[in-house]
A and B are shown apart, each in its own frame.
Chain A
């Protein structure tokens, strides 16, 4: 018999809140974490606003030793370690003080790059013919699995430790992978999550593609406009979200608090065939990913109470809504509630799915829907498909039993997960 799988710990480093308390109150109140970034402006970026979590040196010192912080310049590892350690603590699990690794506890923690600023420093050092002065810390900070390596060492994990990477699906995919490992009995606890580096060298590629908005440099909190008629491109962001995913049996045995149950999900690709390309989704694959997730979770489309969308604030938002209506076969007033976190955080790229899944779990646990911000002028192509009241503009107190979350990424990849309020 497959294990039931639950979420027992959460951690988050988001542009609009670091730690669960700050993040929860920010998303309830619709507080934006998007600000003007002087360095982007100095570097002549088109988009000079971004969602950047502000981690103080004092906070960093609570998670890293002085030695670890020497020559440390990896924002992704910084965010990921804070979120991951917070989730572990929130779950009430111990740090391993023995010489025996926790054999049944593992990790799948995603990243798109690691320590891109540290990598840049190293490249300059090498090109200046100073390789002998590089020191010992470049590899650990710049290997993509750096975040998993730091976290597993701090906790003492002994099961599989891996870093997944699937563009903007990464965070949702990590949660799904953790679910599958526990369901199949390969681990009893998996720390899941994803992180994203900050700064011009990670965001520059998107600015170069002209997919970020350049219209809100003077009005940063209005810049990220998912589902709005005046959406003009995404606002880059960064951060990390983390989850302790655990077998129900293990969670009950230790009397753990249960935030939500993971019922199932699916990940797939459109193969960059049909309308799918490196950067555009194949709608057939998106719809299939959602349908397969429902099938895997044994959930009917009419049981879905709320959708947490990918919704980046580009021209693709209306297409995403269309895909949801087709996959669920629900539209107009029959469509579930839907919301988009990116209006407050920007698009946190690799970390987006994990930060948004943290928000989704909090909604289920605390019985509310966070408000959609910056879509007071809903895109008419969206209201042609679903009722405007399905896109709440104010925080809504409501019991959510079943929530579906999807993320879509470059390379034409999709991931979808279904979460449920836990009942014994």
Chain B
């Protein structure tokens, strides 16, 4: 799965938790969930649960802690997909 395809699949998940903003419109690899997208930190765990469901993967606690940006999330998703 390419980075673009992953972002395409991530966008609706992130949109659920992020207030509408230009940063959300222009979601890209550099987007930071909290700093750029203004997501409530309590919702990061919900994003991870939705990502697990959408990609059919399981994300361990250590990997979860890294998923603060789109880029880091793509890396974790790719890693978990390759382990399937």
Contacts and interface: CB of A to CB of B under 8 A. Distances in A.
Interface of A: 66-67, 70, 133, 135-137
The interface residues of chain B, by DSSP majority, are classed as helix
B46 interface: yes
Given A136-B42, A136-B43, A67 B49 contact: no
Interface residues of B, number: 7
B67 to A, nearest CB: 14
B54 interface: no
A67 B45 CA distance: 14
The interface residues of chain A, by DSSP majority, are classed as loop
Interface in B27-57: 42-43, 45-46, 49
A4 to B, nearest CB: 41
Nearest to B43: A136
Contacts of A66: 16
Given A133-B49, A135-B49, A67 B16 contact: yes
Contacts, number: 15
A136 B42 CA distance: 6
Interface of B: 16-17, 42-43, 45-46, 49
Given A136-B42, A136-B43, A70 B49 contact: no
A70 B16 contact: yes
Nearest to B16: A67
Most B-side CB within 10 Å, residue of A135, A136, A137: A136
A135 B16 contact: no
15 contacts: A66-B16, A67-B16, A67-B17, A67-B43, A70-B16, A70-B46, A133-B49, A135-B45, A135-B46, A135-B49, A136-B42, A136-B43, A136-B45, A136-B46, A137-B46
Contacts of B43: 67, 136
A136 B46 CA distance: 6
Nearest to A139: B42
What are the 9 A-B residue pairs with the smallest beta carbon separation, nearest first?
Answer: A136-B42, A136-B45, A135-B46, A136-B46, A135-B49, A136-B43, A133-B49, A67-B17, A67-B16
A119 B42 CA distance: 18
A133 B58 CA distance: 11
Contacts of B46: 70, 135-137
Nearest to A135: B46
Given A70-B46, A135-B49, A136-B43, 12 more contacts: A66-B16, A67-B16, A67-B17, A67-B43, A70-B16, A133-B49, A135-B45, A135-B46, A136-B42, A136-B45, A136-B46, A137-B46
